[in-house]
Structure 1
Amino acid sequence: MRRLIPGLAFLLLLLTGVTLTGHTLQSEVEAHYENKVIVLLYHDVQEPEAAGFPQPSTVSTVQFDAHLKALKDHGYQIIGMEDYVRFALQGKPVPANAVVLTFDDGYESFYTRAYPILQKHGVPASNFMIGALSDTYHPDAEPHLTWDQMRELVRAGYGIYSHTYDSHRMLHTAPGGQPQPALTHPAYLTQRNRTESAEEYRRRIRSDLTFMNERLRAELGNHSRLLAFPYGAYNEETLQAAEEAGIGLLFTIKEGINTAADRLVYRINAGEPYMTADALIATISKYH
């Protein structure tokens, strides 16, 4: 059999779209969508042998690693949050098949377990953290990110944003009533034996969002003002308070694909024990 000279062999590889390692060249990857961004949502990452695993809103380290590999193998391009912000607020371009990785709640597992896997694959991610849970030690709560850990993450190119300061909780709106999300309902004031007035409620949530912006600026420096709604809950008052706090993009738990016109950001929930790598790709494919 006649041997190909090196230059001709490389040209043949280019024409067939296959690299020396057998992977399809990036230029040959199918554009599933353009000028749009899919945002994935995770919460907690645990070791598969951890006590009590699996739990809702949790993936294993093995599972998360498989997710990132599958995204790459299927031609998805993971971009950083600030790239997405420039796309949504400034009209800057993003690559075809753009995906953003987000985590909610600020669990320490983002630093101890997700971060090494993200580094292994060379991709960025962001975490929407709850200020009060990092400012105050809660011995009965799952460990949350420390400010030192967050500073290291930010230096490495990862994003830290607001999941409110202290509104990721349920509160009573009336004696004996069903608890409701703190960001979307007036609180019952036990000591005053009444429910917050409309103005008191608006002032409380506006103060929370504004104070969280200030905590992030003071600890981590300048950054885009973004908010992920606790429990995905929001109303007109919440939207108004976010606007007054200078928050540019609001992250929901509604599933979909995002254009540059979307200020209420759709997110696909990828962070469940049942979400295999194949299931993740199939779920994303619905929104091409």
Structure 2
Amino acid sequence: MVIRAFAALLCLVNGLSIAVHAQADTAAINAHHGVILQYHHISNRTPASTSLAPKVFRQHLEILRDEGYRVKPLPELVAALQQGKPLPDRTVVITFDDAYDDIVKTAAPMLAEFGFPFTVFISTDFVDRHQPGYMSWDQLRTLQQSGVTLANHTRSHLHLLRQPEGVSDRQWLDTLRGEVDGAEQRIKDETGEHWRYFAYPYGEADDAIVKAIQSWGYVGFGQQSGAVDKRLLASGMAPRFPFNQMYQDLADFRLKASSLPLPVLEERAPGVVFDVATVPELALTLAPHQRTLTCFASGQGAINAIKQKDGRYLITGNRPIEVGRSRYNCTLPVAGQPGRFHWYSRMWIRKQNDGSWYPEP
């Protein structure tokens, strides 16, 4: 979907480049970056796709405590990146989406034990109607009083991309603004918090929606993986590493928590949403480096990353992306720091073969 009313605002559309600035092997020294972790449920009794076992979550916290990480509140990370201020290396932020009640029952006591701050992105309609399995406003205010940041995840957790047939671009944009501004107002009314931080439901958006969210004054956070720096924060969809039952390996957690942003100077991509079978071609230009870029695609394993001149790579999958959400992930070893990687992720969304939207599990 492309919203024509915002087409003139786009600085990244099909085939158009963004110029950015980065340096390859000095990022860890300068530490103008951080990693944002994303969780939903901390439970053994909820869907695997949105859950992590409490035992594994505790192991994550132990690694953060014991292996030199600095867990910061989200506002502190955002302010440092926006202002260009240095951060400690291995800075990490912990976030939860949706405001499930196992956050307050299970996760919050563990986080308090370790002294770690965190953020909850709230879908406010579920709280307002006392939906079973969600926190109440009283519980959220209790968390707030202990230093938890409360932020915006829309009112109803809708798919921002699924514009109904017969609804104009302007009408849909008005609907989305009501969802986002409405949630922000409910959070402000109930708690007084008004950060204007926004987590995209399902991590889904196209370039037009991202620009709209930015124009409404929000800092956006996605679900594509990778570390975050000033450029990525300003992109309107800052990366976060999602964790669930499929990502329980602790070596994988260490790899992600210690990652740095890929030193991208320029990127070109053919949009986000595809109606037909497609092998997207991603072009990345990187700052000078002496390491090997390796890329992977969801469900495909290693894919082509062909180096051109002037630090440019052409990255393509081995076959068309699957129906649903998928990613190309690229990593580059950090010079002088074995086991650490620069990390980049690009999200793709493919509809079903008849052009309809796929169902959510």
Counterpart in the other structure of 2:337: none
Q: Would the aligned equivalents of 1:58 and 1:273 in 2 still touch at CA under 8 Å?
A: no
Number of residue pairs matched by the alignment: 231
Equivalences for 1:1-288 in 2 at 5 Å? 34-46=31-43, 48=44, 50=45, 55-138=48-131, 142-166=132-156, 168-169=157-158, 181=159, 183-188=160-165, 195-247=166-218, 249-263=219-233, 264-285=237-258, 287=260, 288=341
Q: Would the aligned equivalents of 2:104 and 2:139 in 1 still touch at CA under 8 Å?
A: yes
Q: Would the aligned equivalents of 2:150 and 2:193 in 1 still touch at CA under 8 Å?
A: no
**Is there any run of 5+ residues in structure 1 with no aligned partner, and where?**
1-30, 170-180, 189-194
Deviation track 1:189-225 (CA, whole Å, cap 9, x = no partner) reads xxxxxx1011111111112111111111111113310
Q: Name the one with the larger helix percent.
A: 1
Seen in structure 2, the aligned counterparts of structure 1 residues 274 and 96 have a Cα distance that, compared at 3 Å, is closer
**Amino acid in structure 2 at the alignment position of 1:122:** G
Paired residue secondary structure (1:261): helix
**Amino acid in structure 2 at the alignment position of 1:81:** L
Seen in structure 2, the aligned counterparts of structure 1 residues 285 and 246 have a Cα distance that, compared at 3 Å, is closer
Q: Would the aligned equivalents of 1:132 and 1:165 in 2 still touch at CA under 8 Å?
A: yes
Counterpart in the other structure of 2:21: none
Paired residue secondary structure (1:209): helix
Q: CA deviation at 1:150?
A: 0.8
How does the TM-score come out when normalised to structure 2? 0.60
Q: CA deviation at 1:61?
A: 1.4
**Is there any run of 5+ residues in structure 2 with no aligned partner, and where?**
1-27, 261-340, 342-361
Seen in structure 2, the aligned counterparts of structure 1 residues 67 and 243 have a Cα distance that, compared at 3 Å, is same
Give RMSD over aligned pairs.
2.0
Q: Would the aligned equivalents of 1:78 and 1:123 in 2 still touch at CA under 8 Å?
A: yes
**Amino acid in structure 1 at the alignment position of 2:127:** S
- Identity %, equivalent residues: 26
Aligned equivalents of 2:228 and 2:163: distance in 1? 31
Deviation track 1:55-112 (CA, whole Å, cap 9, x = no partner) reads 2221121111111001222211110111112113333432221001111111111111
Deviation track 1:198-253 (CA, whole Å, cap 9, x = no partner) reads 11111111121111111111111133101111111112332233134321x21111
Paired residue secondary structure (2:154): coil
How does the TM-score come out when normalised to structure 1? 0.74
Q: CA deviation at 1:185?
A: 2.8
Tell me which of the two structures has the higher relative contact order, counting C-alpha pairs closer than 8 angstroms and 6 or more residues apart.
1
Q: Name the one with the larger strand percent.
A: 2
**Amino acid in structure 1 at the alignment position of 2:256:** T
**Bigger radius of gyration:** 1
Aligned equivalents of 1:129 and 1:216: distance in 2? 8
- Shifted more, 262-271 versus 124-133: the winner is 262-271
Paired residue secondary structure (2:89): coil
Seen in structure 2, the aligned counterparts of structure 1 residues 231 and 54 have a Cα distance that, compared at 3 Å, is closer
